[in-house]
A and B are shown apart, each in its own frame.
Chain A
Amino acid sequence: LAPWVPVVGLEIHAQISSNSKLFSGSQVQFAAPPNSLVSFFDASLPGTLPVLNRRCVEAAVMTGLALNCSINKKSLFDRKHYFYADLPAGYQITQQRVPIAVNGSLSYSLCIDNKMSQMVTKTVRIKQIQLEQDSGKSLHDDTRSQTLVDLNRAGVGLMEVVMEPDMCCGEEAAAAVRELQLILQTLGSSQAVMAEGQLRVDANVSVHHLGESYGVRTEVKNINSIRFLAKAVDYEIQRQIEELEKGGTILNETRAFDSKLGCTVPMRDKEGKQDYRFMPEPNLPPLILYDAKSLPANLNHQQVVNIDWIHERLPDLPSVKRAKLVERYGILPEHSFTLLNEDGLTEFFENVVKQTQMKPKRVIGWILNDLLSYLKQHSLTVKESPVSSFLLADLLNLLEKKEISSTAAKQVLAELWKGEGKTPLEIVKEKKLELIQDQKELEQICQAVIDGQENEVIMMVLG
């Protein structure tokens, strides 16, 4: 029997990090009082018109360049129509015909085993990136039979990143999204915090037998974290395989991930296929972008968006940062992944390295094995660490100078973790953890130990 081949594609919506919305001047802010960030345009008051926010265009260009896309010098806006309480105009302005960026790729890495000792690089193709409006939020109050609508989010700029179905499992999907998240955060084009709804992922999942054509796919929504993404995808793959193996069929439907039950369930909302009646947005002329070659002589970069100008100013992407860390500090690639994965950890590491004579190759062990595990145990971020880079460097210096043993150092770190404000040296003195270098002193101690254990010594000598 031919093996099952799972196929996973992703549609990711990243909220653009900007002061104002995509087509109107109202502010973008998380958790503001309901309906306090709504302009006339956002509320769809009749007669209002969209005005494109330049910063959102730049964010999309940056992201497209970072994902190796071709940036379309001319892209178009369209209306996508459907009726819903959180969509005041009855349509969303999006880019369906010609999006701003196409045909890119994203490289991400996976561990082959659990020990993070071997990493493999994979690539997922980026079909396109399009600019579009976010919708408002609606809350259903079933007890009072009413729907509460908050339009604060309506009109916020989104970049929809479409990843081709090149992934095969939850782990790959999660790794790809994690890498995208890091890229967006590095660029600053999106803060990409899933918990705040700045990054939303929908997964398209199907299975087929090797050699046959692709199976019917389902869309999985309502995934609130990268961990749940992996779970949801793997569950759905399994569900589809089981269903098909017992002779059933897969419906082309939308399912929601229930994080409590750990499974996907059909979504009642989307009955039947919607015809969105796409139409060009008549109030927005085509979006024209320039590069160094096509830029007319009389315009400067203040007046237009110049792709080359943006390209020149892109910061180092995560993959470049990791490579630099490996080269500069002699650490392993796996280490560089972990460093970048924790917000602030790279900076912490580099600060420690600056302040200590200990080789980075040794420092990394303390960062990744000791510090990080403490942080994880106590659910703290690097920023919240009671042990600062200064303190840790101090401690590592003691170790480097052989004033304490490695075991002692761990004890000191445990003390430092209590955050009582003592320096490593103070703790060492307090607990008498100094390494004794004096030969005579050592002999005395050994002799004392042997004296106290006569029987054991005789046994040992006798063999």
Chain B
Amino acid sequence: AAPSGGVRFQVSAALREGRVSPTELCQRCLSLIKSTRFLNAYITVAEETALKQAEESEKRYRRGQPLGVLDGIPIAVKDNFNTAGIETTCASNMLKGYISPYNATVVQKLLDQGAVLLGKTNLDEFAMGSGSTDGAFGPVRNPWSYSKQYKEKSVPKSHSEDEESNWVISGGSSGGSAAAVSSFTCFAALGSDTGGSTRNPAAHCGIVGLKPTYGLISRHGLIPLVNSMDVPGILTRCVDDAAVVLGSLAGHDPKDSTTIQDNFKPFELPDLTDISKLSIGIPKEYHAPGLSSEILALWSKATDLFKNAGAKVIEVSLPHTRYSIVCYHVLCTAEVASNMARFDGLEYGHRSDMNKSTESMYAATRREGFNEVVRGRILSGNYFLLKQNYENYFVKAQKVRRLIADDFVKVFGSGVDILLTPTTLSDAVPYMEFIKEDNRTRSAQDDILTQAANMAGLPAINVPSGLSERGLPVGLQFIGQSFQEKQLLTVAKWFEKQVKFPMIQLEVKSHDHSAFQPQKSASFS
């Protein structure tokens, strides 16, 4: 039975009714993490603390006083969020062994709701990348590489080559979180999204990836990539779950001066039946060079779906889309150069043994601690920020950013409610193929469909929409208006129901061979 749209097993309800206990749930997830270690989705598994949290949750359920829907629900957090007492590495040598003394606001909020933190997930180093392949702990493997659906369709070059060389990337940079959710080791995970880093891996791993409006969710404790574009991202197996997590995270945080002051009211998603009043925009520029014919066809099919159901579907134009890659490159690297300046080995993190002088210690520390991708971006960013270059690059890019954002304002102002676009140019590529191009090239290519939403601060969501010819997930993206998450998620939920995306048939040898049925516990809400 398919999870989304079909009959959903509600884990929360099961916990409430006592059909399963938090500790059982936690243990199953931990066991599955062990069985799926080859995915390399987790950097740190916090087994002891997770079990303790599960026990506390169990006590609350026995008293009939659960904290909410999330109480006892196992979750994972991308390793660029600070977690007190648990290593936070950003997949970098610079922070290997770094134990933060505080929790990110979003982590604290989840814990306050009783969620069980299983561990920290893998990513591209400091969230720079679109494949989760460039981290200090190795690449993340897409769980779909080990699915029946993929194996059936793939043509092995030779018997020995099979799984080991054929596995596909999870997307990035929140690949670990996406893989963790996709492989059922947790029910929800936090990612981050700066240029598509939550939506991209969500698309490749066949799950829901939500990028909220900038300013809705606190970034306090999220180790920044680009402060003016970063948002915490939410990865779940269905849209309803994303709404629940959003509800527990959104709202003003006095510790983050970029969060809006308005009161946020958590919402439940209605089941849309009549979409005749809905106006869907199809931006023509998102028919980007390199877009696979499969995805184009899927996009078209989705458009027809909306039309046939009575919605108004119109082609729109976001003319400055084609400048977004270079614009993003300038602004991103500039902020990176600035944000990474604090990693000098003095107060925390890696410190080189070089001690001839402070400067030489700094230089050696940073060379040893950062990978090539990070160092490259720092150098670029510093170049753009030089006095002689600032006007021509940084300020110009800011102006272009304004133009890109205004494109959306105009389109939404003309009566369009939501935009529908592809999320990625193609399905997940095999790792061996992916690494043939460098990180910068890949990021530039892959971010084209997702970046603009970060430039404009708009909410956007990936909804898994179908399988490619190779048996891999393909997703479609909805982009909404600022702070209109309810409308965005409502439409996404309707769409999710229509497409009935198939459950992954993961072929994994479970540790305890118990009756763990992934199919029955896809979602928690």
Contact = CB atoms under 8 A, between A and B. Distances in A.
Contacts of B90: 46
Given A88-B342, A285-B258, A47 B220 contact: yes
Interface residues of B, number: 45
Interface stretch (B223-231, B240-248, B452-460): B223-231
Contact of A49 (B100, B256, B362, B394): B256
> Among A49, A85, A279, A282, which residue has the most Cβ atoms of chain B within 10 A?
A49
Interface in B66-87: 81-82
A285 B258 CA distance: 7
Contacts of B88: 46
Nearest to B219: A49
Nearest to A88: B347
B338 interface: yes
Contact of A278 (B340, B341, B348, B390): B390
A85 B385 contact: no
Interface in A78-94: 79, 81, 83, 85, 88-91
Interface in A57-80: 79
A89 B347 CA distance: 10
B386 A46 contact: no
B222 A147 contact: no
Interface in B237-260: 254-258
Interface of B: 81-82, 88, 90, 95, 100-102, 104, 219-224, 226-228, 254-258, 334-335, 337-338, 340-344, 346-348, 355, 358-359, 362, 382, 385-387, 390, 394
Contact of A81 (B82, B254, B338): B338
A47 B342 contact: no
Contact of B344 (A40, A49, A90, A279): A90
Interface residues of A, number: 30
A106 interface: no
A44 B82 contact: no
A317 interface: no
A114 interface: no
Contacts of B346: 85, 88, 149
A50 B343 CA distance: 18
Given A40-B102, A283-B257, A285-B257, A46 B227 contact: no
A81 B257 contact: no
Contacts of A51: 254-255, 257
B498 to A, nearest CB: 39
Interface in A207-236: none
Given A83-B362, A88-B346, 12 more contacts: A45-B102, A46-B82, A46-B90, A47-B81, A47-B224, A85-B358, A90-B340, A90-B344, A279-B394, A282-B258, A283-B258, A285-B258
A453 B340 CA distance: 95
21 contacts: A40-B102, A45-B100, A45-B347, A46-B342, A46-B348, A47-B223, A48-B220, A48-B221, A49-B255, A51-B255, A83-B362, A85-B358, A88-B344, A91-B341, A149-B346, A277-B387, A282-B228, A282-B335, A283-B227, A283-B257, A285-B257
A284 interface: yes
Interface of A: 40, 43-52, 79, 81, 83, 85, 88-91, 145, 147, 149, 275, 277-279, 282-285
B385 A278 contact: yes
B342 A89 contact: yes
B81 to A, nearest CB: 8
Contacts of A45: 82, 100-102, 347-348
Contacts of B362: 83
A147 to B, nearest CB: 6
B385 A50 contact: no
**A-B pairs with the 4 shortest C-beta distances?**
A90-B341, A277-B385, A282-B227, A282-B228
B347 to A, nearest CB: 5
Nearest to A86: B346
Nearest to A51: B257
Contacts of A48: 220-221
Contacts of A285: 257-258
A88 B346 CA distance: 8
A129 B255 CA distance: 26
A91 B385 CA distance: 13
A218 B82 CA distance: 46
Contacts of A277: 337-338, 382, 385-387, 390
A278 B95 CA distance: 27
B456 to A, nearest CB: 15
Contacts of A81: 338, 341, 385
Contacts of B343: 46
Contacts of A279: 334-335, 338, 385, 394
B146 to A, nearest CB: 34
Contact of A43 (B221, B222, B347, B382): B347
Contacts of A88: 342, 344, 346-347
> Among B81, B224, B338, which residue has the most Cβ atoms of chain A within 10 A?
B338
A250 B191 CA distance: 57
Contacts of B385: 81, 277-279
Given A46-B223, A81-B341, A52 B386 contact: no
> Among B222, B227, B337, B341, which residue has the most Cβ atoms of chain A within 10 A?
B341
Contact of B95 (A40, A46, A90): A46
A275 B386 CA distance: 7
B227 A52 contact: no
B338 A79 contact: yes
Contacts of A43: 347-348
Contacts of A47: 81-82, 100, 104, 220-224
A83 B334 contact: no
A44 B347 contact: yes
A145 B355 CA distance: 9
> Among B82, B358, B382, which residue has the most Cβ atoms of chain A within 10 A?
B358
Contacts of B82: 45-47
A148 to B, nearest CB: 12
B257 A52 contact: yes
A277 B254 CA distance: 29
Contacts of A145: 355
A91 B222 CA distance: 19
A40 B385 CA distance: 27
B257 A44 contact: no
